[in-house]
């Protein structure tokens, strides 16, 4: 069985579709996971979609992906802008990493303009709404030679 793509979402993203639809849209995280699972089937991939509000849990999943995952798509939420620990964990992962932000972080407050994760990511998608996850999965398929 081929290794899955880990799709990791950070703090507060469990509220997707339930609050602030003007910024983050109307789709829930469960909707996103279902779309990614369907697309993964089409691309001959599989996904493991996970969300946590805890930095250490996200790091533990990145470590798990070192042996169990083919690639990582990550929206670290606010940890994007603060977490050297997530950056270090991603640097210990050998496969491709793609960073996704639902909103355009560069159009928002200055403290959102810097990402610790971007220096490790093969690519960054920001401001495409939840469609960004779908685009990232397509790109992941290309990077893994599936398309
Ligand atoms: O645009 C993104 O995807 C962010 O990673 C989302 C983070 C934010 O801190 C980053 O700067 C950009 C916040 C996630 C909060 O998610 C919510 C979703 C619905 C309702 C409330 C919060």
Q: What is the pLDDT of residue 1?
A: 72
CATH classification at residue 92 = 3.40.50.9100
Residue ranges of the chain with pLDDT lower than 70? 147
Average pLDDT value over all residues in the chain: 97
Q: Catalytic residue at 133? A: no
pLDDT digits (tens, 9 = 90+) for 6-32: 999 999 999 999 988 999 889 999 999
Helix (H) or strand (E) holding 107: none
Closest ligand 1 atom to residue 19 Cα is 20
Residue from 6, 24, 79, 133 carrying the catalytic annotation: 24
- CA of 145 from ligand 1 middle (Å) equals 31
Q: Where are the alpha helices (DSSP H) in the chain?
A: 21-24, 29-43, 55-68, 84-91, 131-143
The count of domains in the chain is: 1
- pLDDT in the model for residue 101: 98
User: What does the pLDDT read at residue 143?
Assistant: 98
Domain of 75 in residue numbering reads as 5-143
Q: What is the pLDDT of residue 139?
A: 98
Long-range contacts: 11-18, Cβ < 8 Å, 24+? 11/52, 11/53, 11/54, 11/77, 11/78, 11/79, 12/53, 12/77, 12/78, 13/51, 13/75, 13/77, 14/51, 14/53, 16/102, 16/130
Q: Which residues line ligand 1 (CB under 6 A)?
A: 12-13, 15-16, 19-20, 24, 75, 77-78, 80, 101-103, 105, 112
Query: Under 8 Å CB-to-CB from 51, ≥6 apart: which residues?
Result: 8, 9, 10, 13, 14, 29
Look at residue 147 in the predicted model and tell me its pLDDT: 61
Residue nearest to atom 20 of ligand 1 (CA): 19
């Amino acid at each position: 069985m081929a290794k899955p793509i880990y799709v990791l979402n950070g703090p507060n993203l469990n509220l997707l579709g339930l609050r602030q639809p003007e910024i983050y849209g109307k789709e829930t995280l469960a909707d996103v996971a279902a779309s990614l699972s369907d697309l993964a089937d089409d691309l001959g991939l599989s996904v493991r979609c996970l969300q946590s509000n805890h930095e250490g849990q996200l790091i533990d999943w990145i470590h798990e992906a070192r042996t169990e995952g083919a690639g990582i798509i990550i929206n670290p939420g606010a940890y994007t802008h603060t977490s050297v620990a997530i950056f270090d964990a991603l640097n210990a992962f050998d496969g491709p990493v793609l960073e996704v932000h639902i909103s355009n972080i560069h159009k928002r407050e200055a403290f959102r303009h810097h990402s610790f994760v971007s220096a490790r990511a093969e690519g960054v998608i920001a401001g495409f709404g939840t469609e960004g996850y779908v685009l990232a999965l397509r790109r992941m398929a290309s990077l893994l030679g599936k398309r």
